[in-house]
Chains A and B, each alone.
Chain A
């Protein structure tokens, strides 16, 4: 998991005063290639102006086609941002990307393909702060703010491609923008969606009405069998059976099953989540 926010440089495709516009056929190709590598790119033409000052000390890499292939020497008036200018006359998109990569050097950067930004996004225009998501999630993704409002606190704990919590939200307020289908992907919520999503709450009732209670019951049953059968694998088997239907329904990826905490941890987490939810609701 890459969690740093470092963006060692920002690229500016400069076509403003003092520069010659890039060939039309290569402009978009260059931008696509850089974006697909994870860079942020601004295109500046004579129609544009800088409306806000740089806020950090990152490097600004200005690319342009300059007269006599001579990139200008530039510096930030505030002295906070290092500005490098490079002439890219006659360079093809691949060579331009190589030039940018060389300029970045060994500084780390988030890159597409190595990680998928998968986490719940709460639509607060729909959320009623019922805390069902807090109670449901086994991975501590949700928490409660100092104002006793539900919030996503640990993105990185979320299991990629698992949108299960969005199915238990009675208000369809939980989105996963990278999900394929609506309304979980952020598409508008229709009356039919609302009804259907309410029915989807029954994914927890397939375990007896409440996923934690059910897991607790099954854990107790499994524990009972431990003593009789002395088979520690039974509990895990039982728990997996409980969730297999969720997987087969496509709500939960297989690898989420594999990463579930132990029954004891689930019980403890359930109690803790219940207490946090109750405290937050009581404080409202």
Chain B
């Protein structure tokens, strides 16, 4: 099953350490992989953004964002519950090296172009 790598910038509030989120993005960019980025998952969930459902439908998701409990809750509350096989990495507590290493592990990456 193809995987979609998703990076959340948390641009609407500075609760994710800037150094970590920049480093994660840098490493994804350097990897040669395709990936999706969003400005802020909270902002999308607040508006029940239908693009969240497009992301859920795009294959197995590996998400670099914040606490898995929060990310799972955001998608659920937005009406787009995450499949059980979703992997969520926490840029508030993990290192960029750890996160990107796990995101790129065994990945067959696809990109969801949801407009």
Contacts and interface: CB of A to CB of B under 8 A. Distances in A.
A262 interface: no
A35 B29 contact: no
Contacts of B28: 43
For B2, B33, B34, B45, the residue with the greatest tally of chain A CB atoms inside 10 Å of its CB is B34
Contacts of B49: 5, 7
B67 A117 contact: no
A151 B78 CA distance: 11
A177 B70 contact: yes
A152 B77 contact: yes
Interface in B2-46: 2, 4, 9, 11-13, 15, 22, 25-26, 28-30, 32-40, 42-43, 45-46
B103 to A, nearest CB: 13
Contacts of A47: 32-34, 109
Contacts, number: 180
Contacts of B83: none
A186 B73 contact: yes
Interface in A129-177: 151-152, 155, 175, 177
A55 B77 contact: no
Please name the 9 residue pairs, one residue from A and one from B, whose CB atoms are nearest each other, closest first. Answer: A48-B34, A186-B70, A186-B67, A51-B110, A117-B42, A35-B9, A121-B73, A58-B115, A54-B115
- Highest count of chain A CB atoms <10 Å: which of B50, B54, B111: B111
Interface string A231-258: 0000000000000000000000000000
A40 B38 contact: yes
Given A177-B67, A177-B74, A55 B39 contact: no
A192 interface: no
Interface in A57-98: 57-60, 81
14 contacts: A10-B113, A24-B30, A42-B112, A44-B111, A45-B34, A48-B109, A52-B112, A55-B115, A56-B50, A117-B40, A121-B77, A122-B77, A151-B77, A187-B67
